[in-house]
Chains A and B, each alone.
Chain A
Amino acid sequence: MISAERLTKRRGSRTVVSDVTFRAEPGTITGFLGPNGAGKTTTMRMLVGLSEPDSGQALFFGGRYRDLPNPGRRVGILLDASAQHAGRQGREALAVSARTIGVPMQRVDTLLKLVGLDEAAAGRRVGKYSLGMRQRLGLAHALLGDPDVLILDEPANGLDPEGMRWMRRLLRDFADRGGTVLLSSHLLAEVEAIADRMIIIGQGRIQAQGTRAELLPQAGTIVEADDLDGLDAALHRAGLATHPADGDRRFVEADPEDVARAAMAGGIVLRRIGPANEASLEQLFFELTASGEPNPSSTTDPSLPEPTGVAA
């Protein structure tokens, strides 16, 4: 269990992390979401004592990280997969840490196998690894001490789609067995796919946090039909609040199931039906994390439509 209380970090006159407070609970995956430079990494570094907060504190199981007797056995950390000695073999890199935290060497081999680094890869120097391989080695390193908590900064970086799916499964499994996961990403889709709770951070501050449902309490259903008048009437009869949406669509303040029942009762054929919050969560993310300064990679012309995909 992690709790951060009013963490604040200044660099010179600039406040890079301001008043960050959150909890990450056992059995859940908490996604730390924000654009690059929002303060995710700085916050994570403060959690584990690599950086001293100017004020505030972070607690693990109610105590400070540096007071954990053997932190590598309680908290698994992957902050930067490239932070490994380039001239050391992958297996040796794990062996050094295994020795430090007092786990047997066979655990190193078990984890190399788990993350899919074979004998040849394990014997290669880390300097020759691809980013994806480093990420896998970093995950193996984080899991080495059989921890209760995982802290992972951009763990999906450099993984191929198959690798991402594998990692999601691995983290889901870890959380389902009572583990606490805090991971960061600048990609909404990635956090959405895996996290139970989201913390949206922008300009060093937490802009919003909660489950998806809590972040989007107005979640509803988007529905599309040929017979829009009939649909409106059917929804009205069922007592569901309905608003016009783009095209031949309606936005309904209800679950898809209720909308489908209402349409069936009215004998209306639906072309399409689905939850409405995909687009709105993305919009929320952009609104909350907008820096005020124009982002050179995105359009600043307000007459152009909102970008529909999250920039990768």
Chain B
Amino acid sequence: MSTTTLPIPTRWNPAGVNLGPGLGRLVAVELRKMTNTRAGFWLQVATVALTLIAVIVRCVVGDAADHTFAEVLNIAVRPAAFLLPVAGILLVTSEWSQRTGMITFTLVPRRSRVLGAKLVASLVLALAVLAVSVVAAVAAVLVASPGVDGTWAHLVPLIAQSAVYLTTGMVIGVAFGAILLASTPAIVVLSTLPVAWAALASLSYFDKVAPWLDTSRALDPLPHEVLNGTGWAQAATALALWMLLPLAVGTWRITRREVAS
């Protein structure tokens, strides 16, 4: 390694010294951070690849008459529904586990702004992945479907509901990451807690409340059934429990927690 004796380029541009980064710039930075690490990059590649594989498999097997947009889209969003929350978790926890928080939070001392940027970046990424899923589903249906009645039924509502499904799923990941601030525990908790909860909720004792609080019942239908009023109300209560509450706790944690050295 050579050592140069270049002078430090100095006072080259006083502009921007008193102008902090706006939300747009912070969001762009967070999107970049999600994809410019080895883990982040391959996570995105895996999400897209699994989406395409799921769509292809769905269209190769099964009865051609079942290849409606609703059915194919339902399969197309599943890989993303599983992997986006992981991306959301890593987006927050890597600041602690990789200790980049020491840099992030000294460059932007208001941590709530960083968390806000991470949330917006999560929405952007989830919508981009949704676009991939929708395009793949549409292409697959055009190729594989015999074009029976109802093939394209509820196209717009289902895309909109899938958008809700994927974005909220990713925000849930961010929230769990913010609470636990460690990648592995957050991924484990997020993948086991709803299952444990669902098992508990299947007891007849919880018959009344389970549909309102169990994500697998309240949220999983979003990509393939058009929800009625009750369905939306149940989705909203489940999201309040699984997304808003963890997000509030996580925000509190992030803004107070010391950044480890």
Contact = CB atoms under 8 A, between A and B. Distances in A.
Interface of A: 41, 45, 48-52, 65-66, 68-75, 77, 79-80, 82-89, 92, 95-97, 99-103, 107, 110, 113-114, 116-118, 121, 125, 132-133, 136, 141, 143, 146, 162-163, 166, 169-170, 173-174, 177
Nearest to A41: B261
Interface in B1-19: 1-13, 16-19
A173 B16 contact: no
A91 B30 CA distance: 16
Contacts of B16: 70, 73, 101-103
B3 A100 contact: no
A146 B13 CA distance: 9
8 contacts: A66-B109, A84-B103, A85-B98, A92-B36, A97-B107, A110-B6, A166-B3, A177-B8
B195 interface: no
Contact of B94 (A66, A85, A103, A133): A85
Contacts, number: 144
Contacts of B26: 100
B4 A102 contact: no
B10 A50 contact: no
Interface string B229-261: 000000000000000000000000000001101
A83 B10 contact: no
A99 B19 contact: no
Contacts of A87: 37-40, 98
Contacts of B94: 85
Contacts of A45: 258-259, 261
B21 interface: yes
B105 interface: yes
Contacts of A68: 109
Contacts of B110: 66
Secondary structure of the B side of the interface? Answer: loop
A24 to B, nearest CB: 17
A33 B258 CA distance: 24
Nearest to B95: A85
Given A97-B107, A100-B107, A117-B1, A50 B99 contact: no
Given A52-B258, A85-B100, A166-B3, A77 B106 contact: yes
Interface string B19-56: 11100011011001100111110000000000000000
B108 interface: yes
B164 interface: no
Contacts of B20: 69-70
A169 to B, nearest CB: 8
Contacts of B98: 83-87
Nearest to B26: A100
B8 A170 contact: yes
A306 to B, nearest CB: 32
A309 to B, nearest CB: 26
B21 A102 contact: yes
A133 B1 CA distance: 9
A72 B109 CA distance: 10
A81 to B, nearest CB: 10
Interface in B68-113: 94, 98-110
Contacts of A163: 3
Contacts of B1: 116-118, 121, 132-133, 136
A51 B103 CA distance: 13
